[in-house]
Chain A
Amino acid sequence: MGEARGGCCPPMDLFRSESMQLVQLIIPVEASHLTVSYIGDLGLIQFKDLNAEKSPFQRTYAAQIKKSGEMARKLRFFREQMDKAGVSPPKKSVTRTDIDKDDLEVKLGELEAELVEMNVNNEKLQRTYNELVEYKIVLEKASGFFCSALSSATAQQREMESQHSGEESLNTPLMKDQEADSSKQVKLGFLTGLVPKEKSLAFERIIFRATRGNVFIRQAAVDEPVIDPVSGEKTEKNVFVVFYSGERAKTKILKICEAFGANRYPFSEDLGKQAQMMTEVSGRLSEMKTTIDAGLFQRNNLLQTISDQFEQWNSLVRKEKSIYHILNMLSLDVTKKCLVAEGWSPVFATKQIQDALQRASFDSNSQVGTIFQVLHARESPPTYFCTNKFTSAFQEIVDAYGVARYQEANPGVYTIITFPFLFAVMFGDWGHGLCLLLATLFFIIREKKLSGQKLGDITEMTFGGRYVIMMMALFSIYTGLIYNEFFSVPFELFGLSAYACRDLSCRDATTDGLIKVRPTYPFGVDPVWHGTRSELPFLNSLKMKMSILLGVAQMNLGIILSYFNAAYFGNSLNIWFQFIPQMIFLNALFGYLSLLIIVKWCTGSQADLYHVMIYMFLSPTDELGENQLFPGQKTVQLVLLLLALVSVPWMLLPKPFLLKKQHENRHQGQSYRPIESTDESLQLEVNRDSHDHEEFEFSEVFVHQMIHTIEFVLGAVSNTASYLRLWALSLAHSELSSVFYEKVLLLAWGFNNVIILIVGFIIFVFATVGVLLVMETLSAFLHALRLHWVEFQNKFYEGDGYKFIPFSFALIDDEDE
Chain B
Amino acid sequence: MGFLVTTLIFVVTGIIASLCARICCNMGPSTNLLHLTLIITATVCCWMMWAIVYLAQMKPLIVPILSEGE
Chain A residues with CB under 8 Å of chain B are: 9-15, 413-414, 416-418, 421, 425, 475, 478-479, 482, 498-499, 509-516, 519-526, 528-529, 531-535, 537-538, 541-542, 545-546, 549-550, 553, 598, 601-604, 606
CA–CA, A451 to B54, complex, Å? 44
Residues of A within 8 A of B29 (CB): 10
Residues of B within 8 A of A541 (CB): 56, 62
Asked whether A534 and B64 contact (CB < 8 A) given A12-B30, A550-B48, the answer is yes
Identify the 7 closest CB pairs spanning chains A and B, nearest first.
Answer: A604-B59, A10-B29, A513-B65, A513-B63, A417-B41, A601-B55, A532-B64
Q: Show 16 A/B contacts (Cβ-Cβ < 8 Å), sorted by A.
A: A10-B29, A12-B34, A13-B34, A413-B37, A417-B41, A482-B53, A513-B64, A516-B60, A520-B58, A524-B53, A526-B64, A541-B56, A542-B53, A546-B53, A601-B55, A602-B58
A15 in contact with B34 (CB, 8 Å): yes
A425 in contact with B65 (CB, 8 Å): no
B50 in contact with A534 (CB, 8 Å): no
Residue in B34, B56, B66 whose beta carbon sits within 8 Å of that of A514 in the complex = B66
- The answer to whether B31 has its CB under 8 Å from any CB of chain A is yes
CA–CA, A514 to B57, complex, Å? 14
- In terms of DSSP, what is the predominant structure of the interface of chain B? helix
CA–CA, A550 to B47, complex, Å? 11
A532 in contact with B49 (CB, 8 Å): no
- Chain B residues 24-47 with CB under 8 Å of chain A are 29-31, 33-34, 37-38, 41-42, 45-46
B49 in contact with A11 (CB, 8 Å): no
- The answer to whether B4 has its CB under 8 Å from any CB of chain A is no
Residue in A10, A421, A515, A603 whose beta carbon sits within 8 Å of that of B30 in the complex = A10
Residue in A9, A482, A516, A602 whose beta carbon sits within 8 Å of that of B50 in the complex = A482
With most chain A CB atoms within 10 A of its CB, the pick from B2, B37, B56, B59 is: B56
A515 in contact with B63 (CB, 8 Å): yes
Residue in A511, A550, A553, A606 whose beta carbon sits within 8 Å of that of B61 in the complex = A606
Chain B residues with CB under 8 Å of chain A are: 1-2, 6, 29-31, 33-34, 37-38, 41-42, 45-46, 48-50, 52-68, 70
Residue in B1, B30, B49 whose beta carbon sits within 8 Å of that of A13 in the complex = B30
Asked whether A533 and B56 contact (CB < 8 A) given A11-B30, A550-B48, the answer is no
A509 in contact with B66 (CB, 8 Å): yes
Please give me the residue from chain A that is nearest to B63 by CB atom: A513
Distance in angstroms from A72 CB to nearest chain B CB is 41
Residues of B within 8 A of A553 (CB): 48
Residues of B within 8 A of A514 (CB): 63-66
CA–CA, A546 to B38, complex, Å? 22
Asked whether A545 and B30 contact (CB < 8 A) given A417-B41, A509-B66, A601-B58, the answer is no
B33 in contact with A12 (CB, 8 Å): yes
Distance in angstroms from B21 CB to nearest chain A CB is 13
CA–CA, A418 to B43, complex, Å? 11
Asked whether A13 and B33 contact (CB < 8 A) given A414-B41, A510-B67, A606-B61, the answer is yes
Residues of B within 8 A of A417 (CB): 38, 41-42, 45
Asked whether A523 and B56 contact (CB < 8 A) given A417-B42, A511-B65, the answer is no
Residues of B within 8 A of A516 (CB): 60, 63
